[in-house]
């Protein structure tokens, strides 16, 4: 089950509900979390980052510092409710390609290594015989020698690389 925001989704594992001893608390939480009919509606998405300035890595690193600290805290310590129950949170990231590339410390889309997820190159474009899969990991982006195409470390390393999703409209329009 997921509570989606425009940039980050919060995924609460349903298996955690079985650890709850208080049936009333469980039902109350499920009333808000298990809302599958509304999960993909825009009225239920919330923006976490709205920045009117120039989009560049160094500025975003400074501006997002409080958010990055909070997300790291939630990843490490989990969300603890009033009853002491720790909720595992799984984050997702969705934005246009440019913003996602900046957050991932990625090179330009016209570079030789243009894909944030796999190791394909410009010469692989149109090769229908090759099977493309997510080959990079967030751990490989944190290393001293990041994967090809990545110039800097990710600003949001607590989000797994396979949970970064580009905006469908920008992909379709190729912008």
- Per residue in 111-150, pLDDT tens? 888 888 888 888 888 888 888 888 888 887 777 777 888 8
Q: Is the dihedral angle over the CA atoms 18, 19, 21, 27 positive or is it negative? A: negative
Mean pLDDT, rounded, for 7-34: 48
In three-state secondary structure terms, 11 is strand
Residue 155's pLDDT is 92
Neighbours of 29 (CB within 10 A): 17
Residue 6's pLDDT is 39
Which pTM value belongs to this model? Answer: 0.66
Rounded distance between C-alpha atoms, residue 5 and residue 65, angstroms? 19
Q: Tokens at residue 75, please?
A: 């990843």
């Amino acid at each position: 089950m997921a509570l989606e925001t425009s940039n980050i989704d919060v995924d609460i594992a349903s298996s955690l509900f079985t650890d709850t001893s208080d049936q009333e608390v469980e039902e109350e939480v499920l009333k808000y979390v298990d809302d599958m009919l509304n999960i993909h509606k825009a009225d239920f998405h919330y923006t976490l980052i709205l920045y009117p300035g120039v989009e560049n890595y160094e500025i975003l690193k400074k501006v997002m510092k409080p958010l990055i600290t909070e997300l790291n805290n939630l990843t490490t310590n989990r969300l603890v409710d009033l009853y002491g129950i720790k909720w595992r949170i799984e984050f997702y990231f969705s934005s246009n390609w440019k913003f996602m590339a900046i957050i991932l410390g990625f090179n330009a889309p016209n570079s030789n290594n243009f894909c944030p997820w796999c190791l394909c190159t410009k010469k692989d474009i149109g090769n229908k015989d090759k099977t493309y899969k997510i080959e990079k990991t967030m751990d490989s982006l944190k290393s001293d020698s990041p994967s090809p195409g990545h110039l800097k470390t990710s600003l949001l390393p607590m989000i797994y690389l396979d949970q970064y999703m580009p905006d469908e409209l920008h992909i379709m329009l190729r912008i």
